[in-house]
Amino acid sequence: MGKAKSAAARTRGAGAPAGAQGGRARPNPNPFEVKVNRQKFPVLGRKARHAVGQPGVSRARAVHKRTQTLLKEYKERDKSNVFTDKRFGEYSSTMSPEEKMMKRFALEQQRQHEKKSIYNLNEDEELTHYGQSLADIEKHNDIVDSDSDTEERGTLSAELTAAHFGGGGGLLHKKTPQQQGEEGEKPRSRRELIEELIAKSKQEKRERQAQREGALELTEKLDQDWKEIQTLLTHRTPNSENRDKKERPKPDAYDMMVRELGFEMKAQPSNRMKSEEELAKEEQERLQQLEAARLRRMRGEDEGSEARKPKHLSADDLNDGFVLDKDDRRLLSYTDGKMSIEEEQSREASDGESEEEQGEDLSEEDPENSSDPDGHSDLESDMDSEEDCGRPNGEPRQALGKGTTSIGHRAQEAARNQLPYTFAAPESYEELKSLLSGRTREEQLVVVERIQTCNHPSLAVGNKAKLEKLFGFLLEYIGDLATDDPPNLRVIDKLVVQLYNLCQMFPDSASDSIKFVLRDAMHEMEGAIEARGRAAFPGLDVLVYLKIAGMLFPTSDLWHPVVTPALVCMSQLLTKCPILSLQDVVKGLFVCCVFLDYVSLSRRFIPELVNFLLGILYIASPNKCGRGYTLVHPFRASGKNSELLVVSDKEDKATWQRRGLSLHWAYGLKAQNKTEANHTRLSCLAVCLALVKGCAQFYSSLPSFYAIVRPLRALLMEHLAGCSHPPELQELCQSALANLEEPEPRCRPLVCAKSKPEPLKLFTPRLVKVLEFGRKQGSSKEEQERRRLIHKHKREFKGAVREIRRDNQFLARMQLSETLERDAERKRKVKQLFNSLATQEGEWKALKRKKFKK
């Protein structure tokens, strides 16, 4: 407390005069000024606030203040002219007097320095440096030379110093090997030596000059050569270049170049380039960090560190997407590295081509848009991989557009060239649709990509909002594509990459858009459920949205604003939508796959999924005995759909081959003939069995695994018992069953965690906060606050009234003193007059008397 006070005093000391200082601030006030209010008796806990005071001092301070302010006003009350000080910074309190002086001086200099008249050309003086005109130096004709000169000029040569200042020994010692022979012949005098030195230095100087001239010549030659090469290099805009050349003299162009180079080099002392291994290592570290964050979120720990996660964009990202782009590129380059583990062969095959691609892209397009070509090369390499090294038979994605890709590659090139380079960002969904409709797949991709490029957030202010909207429109467009007849899934397949990129830029708005479409879907379902108690499976668009949501956001988080609602949505799909047709089965299985993919990392338990698979197995089972399992809601033990997947045709069974299910089935593709439908049924069953197997692997560590899969096991036994499936399916059944049959881990009885022993109840006194005296207690906080404010207001009001009264008193005093002064003056003058009159009178009388006397 005391320290703070004294510090305050010190800071205040400079401004105000010592007389006006508060007495409290001074360490030992004048004891005659101190007035002590004596306490009659001490009261415990009472703070005596006004025990000691210095009324005289404070009164003096008040009077001083009034004379400075009030009195001034009073005196100037009838004056209308104002005095303003126009000196620089006179009224600014932030500048120190020294600064003010400096500025004023600078301004004055400037004023003097300015040209008196613009027509007087000879006025400005030439500045020199070491006797050379600075204007010459600025032309940089002899940078090399001046540099070397300064170097040498800075330190005198060793010989010179030795000669002049006689640094003897060392020099002689150094010389000996060279001049041993000469010295042996005739010892030279000191004078000779010096002359020799002078001659030597002169010669050196000449040599240097010659060298310099040579260098100059060389540079000029180089300059010319460079010009030639440059025109070759930048043949794209030769016109402008030529024009430039004509307008400007040669050295200017060179100068410019040199300066530019110089600036660049000087501006960024960059780090050493990192080697491949280092980059890879860094990436790996970054990935490990991300993975650690993901695991943390999966376990639902430590929410605080979660916020740091998306910062992998950049530490000081302005959220304009600029830095992110760079990061994105690195991310992809990393992916290349990692992908080499996963799909090595394809990567190798495609690398050359994709790089070529990139080069071309870069020369064509904005250099800023570096992420897109990258993303593209990725895609293309995907396609190429399929093209180049055909997958082994039975690979699920084998059917992925084999014929079209080789043409597609070229078509994309064509699309790139045909389309305009700039697109305005669409303001509404209709605009986007009109932009994209009627174009081929490749063209659509290029259009979306270019929209992104042209409206990159770093280019203009409103672009961020535009791209955020674009995400929503694209989502809507994808929904439309998915509900088209037939669904245009290939375009969606490509657009997903764009969505991912946009989502990385704007996570919040992207999550909002996804939430919006999910809510829409759920609303629709909820309405149907309210009305009819059940809902039909939604269109393919909802399924696609669910899948996309899983790709944009981490699905393993314990809680995630998008993923958790999506999970609930899928659970609804699996529990509320009855299976009425083959199409529903395919949709349901797709949802199952998505669901299982969602939890593939976290291995979380999904009861609905097990139920649904049980139901599918049931409707595929030809001979049901219904022992050991119970079907739940969307499935019924009997009814017209209870044998939906049963295939009884022997021939169809024989000809069936296991293949990936086409998503077009989910749309409602009509089977051409019965065989095809039967094959699809068997494929569905195969998918279902594979999912059962996946579930078994995921959940085998759950404590009641045996109870969970009991119904599945019972049904699989039934399937096997019939022996009516094709051999491949039988095998699949067997392996799934084997997974389910895994020996049950020993059941360990549950034990609660030990809780802390509850402390004994102690009779500690209840502590109540004692409020200050003189305050009302027990009222609510608002009430107290109000009362406090009222009190404060009252006090302030009183203070203000007192101040006004004192002001008035002061003014009255002043007026009185003025009047008194005036009166005194008058009296004085009257007296004077009387005096003079009296003197006159006296003189006159004396004169008279004299006359009379005479």
Partner 1 sequence: MERDSGPEGVRRALGRLLEAVLASRGEANAVFDILAVLQSEDHEETQEAVRACSRLFGALLERGELFVGPLPSEDSVMAGSQGATRKYKVWMRHRYRSCLNRLQELLVHSSFEVKELALSTLMKFVQLEGAHPLEKPKWDGYYLFPRQLFKAVVEGLLSLEDDCSLLLARFREYLEHDDIRYHTMQAATDTVGRVTDRHPEVPLTFWNNAFTLLSSVSLPSQERGICSFYVKHGELPRTWKVVHLKEHRKAFQGMWLGFLKHKLPLSLCKKVLVVLHDSILPHLAQPSLMIDFLTRAYDVGGAISLLALNGLFILIHQHNLEYPDFYRKLYGLLDPSVFHVKYRARFFHLADLFLSSSHLPAYLVAAFAKRLSRLALTAPPEALLMVLPFICNLLRRHPACRVLVHRPLGSELDADPYDPEEEDPAKSQALESSLWELQALQRHYHPEVSQAASVINQALSVPEVSIAPLLELTAFDVFERDLKKKGQGSVPLEFIPAQGLLGRQDDFCAQHFTLS
CA–centroid distance for 540 within its chain: 36
Binding partner 1 (rule: CB under 8 A), the pick from 162, 445, 475, 548 is: 548
400 binds partner 1 (CB under 8 A): yes
* Closer by beta carbon to partner 1, 216 or else 280: 280
- Position among 254, 537, 545, 590 found at the interface with partner 1 (CB under 8 A): 590
Residues 609-628 that bind partner 1 (CB under 8 A): 610-611
Looking only at residues 171 through 200 of this chain, which bind partner 1 when binding is defined by CB under 8 A?
none
Residue numbers 626-645 binding partner 1 by CB under 8 A: 630-633
User: CA of 325: how far to CAs of 28, 423, 775, in Å?
Assistant: 68, 20, 63
Taking the least distance from each CB to partner 1, the nearer of 253 and 594 is: 594
Q: Interface with partner 1 by CB under 8 A: which range of 156-164, 275-283, 655-663, 823-831?
A: 655-663
Burial 30-53 (b: 16+ CB within 10 A, else e): eeeeeeeeeeeeeeeeeeeeeeeb
Smallest separation (angstroms) from partner 1 to the CB of 731: 16
CB 544 within 8 A of CB 492: yes
Whole-angstrom distance, CA of residue 545 vs CA of residue 495 = 12
Q: Measure the CA–CA gap between 55 and 76, rounded to whole angstroms.
A: 30
Q: Residue 522 CB, nearest distance to partner 1 (Å)?
A: 5
Interaction residues for partner 1, span 698-757 (CB under 8 A):
702-708, 744, 746-753, 755
Q: Does 253 bind partner 1 (CB under 8 A)?
A: no
Provide, rounded to whole angstroms, the least separation between the CB of residue 468 and partner 1: 13
What is residue 226's three-state secondary structure? helix
Torsions phi, psi for 271 (to 5 deg): -75, 165
CB of 449 to partner 1, least distance (A): 15
CB of 114 to partner 1, least distance (A): 55
Spatial contact of 473 and 432, defined as CB atoms under 8 Å apart: yes
Which residue stretch of 371-379, 427-435, 439-447, 831-839 sits at the interface with partner 1 (rule: CB under 8 A)? 371-379
State how far the Cα of 336 lies from the Cα of 342, in Å rounded to an integer: 10
Residue 467 phi, psi (nearest 5): -70, -35
Select from 104-112, 168-176, 426-434, 558-566 the region that touches partner 1 (CB under 8 A): 558-566
| Distance in angstroms (rounded) separating the CA atoms of residues 308 and 296 | 12
The answer to whether 466 touches 320, Cβ cutoff 8 Å, is no
Give the C-alpha separation, 324 to 188, whole Å: 75
Reference 480, options 528, 421, 432; nearest CA is 432
Q: Which of residues 63, 197, 279, 522 is near partner 1 by CB under 8 A?
A: 522
Contacts of 710 (CB under 8 A, 6+ apart): 628, 629
- Assess contact for 368 and 632: CB atoms under 8 A: no
The residue from 163, 415, 474, 567 that contacts partner 1 (CB under 8 A) is 567
Nearest approach, Cβ of 706 to partner 1 (angstroms)? Answer: 7
Residues in the chain: 854
| Shortest reach from residue 336's CB to partner 1, in Å | 11
**What is the nearest approach in angstroms of partner 1 to the Cβ of residue 536?**
16
| Residue 599 sits in the site that holds partner 1 (CB under 8 A) | yes
* Count of residues engaged in binding partner 1, rule: CB under 8 A: 121
Q: Which two tokens stand for residue 396?
A: 């699920």
State whether the Cα torsion 176-179-185-186 is positive or negative.
Answer: negative
Provide the mask over 117-156, with x wherever binding to partner 1 is found by CB under 8 A and - wherever it is not.
----------------------------------------
The one segment of 64-72, 222-230, 688-696, 731-739 that binds partner 1 by CB under 8 A: 688-696
CB of 751 to partner 1, least distance (A): 5
Task: State which of positions 760-779 bind partner 1 (CB under 8 A).
Answer: none
- Residue 526 near partner 1 by CB under 8 A: yes
- 426 or 550: whose CB is closer to partner 1? 550
Instruction: Give the residue with the Cβ less far from partner 1, 218 or 707.
Output: 707
Contact 719, 617 (CB under 8 A): yes
Report the relative pairing of strands 52-53 and 35-36 from DSSP bridges: antiparallel
> Prior bond to 749 cis, omega within 30?
no
Shortest spacing between CB 352 and partner 1, in angstroms: 20
Q: Which stretch binds partner 1 (CB under 8 A): 6-14, 47-55, 160-168, 550-558?
A: 550-558
**What x-and-dash track marks residues 319-358 binding partner 1 by CB under 8 A?**
------------xx--x------xx---------------
Radius of gyration of the chain (CA): 48
Task: Please select the residue that binds partner 1; options are 608, 645, 719, 733, rule is CB under 8 A.
Answer: 608
Q: Per-residue b/e over 423-443, b at no fewer than 16 CB within 10 Å?
A: bebbeebeebeebbeebebbb
Q: What is the DSSP letter of 19?
A: G
In the bound state with partner 1, the residue whose beta carbon lies nearer, of 88 and 334, is: 334
- Give the residue among 475, 15, 430 at the shortest CA–CA distance from 467: 475
Please report, as residue ranges, which positions from 458 to 497 form the binding site for partner 1 (by CB under 8 A). Answer: 489-490, 492-494, 496-497
690 binds partner 1 (CB under 8 A): yes
Full DSSP string of 402-443? HHHHHHHHHHHHHHHHHS-S--PPPSSHHHHHHHHTT--HHH
Nearest approach, Cβ of 476 to partner 1 (angstroms)?
16
CB atoms within 10 A of CB 658: 16
List phi, psi (to 5°) of 36: -110, 130
Q: Which is nearer to partner 1, 39 or 638 (CB)?
A: 638
Q: Which residue has the tokens 């010692």?
A: 173
Q: Among residue numbers 402 through 431, which ones bind partner 1 (CB under 8 A)?
A: none
| Binding to partner 1, residues 289-318 (CB under 8 A) | 290, 293-294, 297, 300, 303, 306-307, 309-310, 312
Closer residue to partner 1, CB minimum distance, 531 or 770:
531
- Judged by CB under 8 A, the stretch of 164-172, 556-564, 775-783, 824-832 that binds partner 1 is 556-564
With CB under 8 A as the contact rule, the residue among 379, 411, 414, 720 that binds partner 1 is 379
Least spacing, CB of residue 508 vs partner 1, in Å: 6
Q: Which is nearer to partner 1, 142 or 327 (CB)?
A: 327
Distance CA 698, CA 712 (A): 15
> Measured between alpha carbons, how far is 475 from 468 in angstroms, rounded to an integer?
11
Closest to partner 1 by CB, 201 or 335: 335
Which position among 447, 620, 685, 691 is part of the footprint of partner 1 (CB under 8 A)? 691
DSSP 440-503: -HHHHHHHHHHHHHHT-TTT-TTHHHHHHHHHHHHHHHHHHHHHSSS--HHHHHHHHHHHHHHH
CB 632 within 8 A of CB 609: no
Which helix or strand (DSSP H or E) is residue 194 part of?
A: helix 190-233
The answer to whether 571 contacts partner 1 (rule: CB under 8 A) is: yes
Q: Which stretch binds partner 1 (CB under 8 A): 179-187, 220-228, 246-254, 541-549?
A: 541-549
- For residues 570 and 591, the answer to whether their CB atoms sit within 8 Å is yes
As measured in angstroms, the least distance from the Cβ of 295 to partner 1 is 12
Based on CB atoms, which residue is closest to partner 1, 170 or 745?
Answer: 745
Residue number with CB closer to partner 1 (415 or 685): 685
- The structure tokens listed for 266 are 């000087």
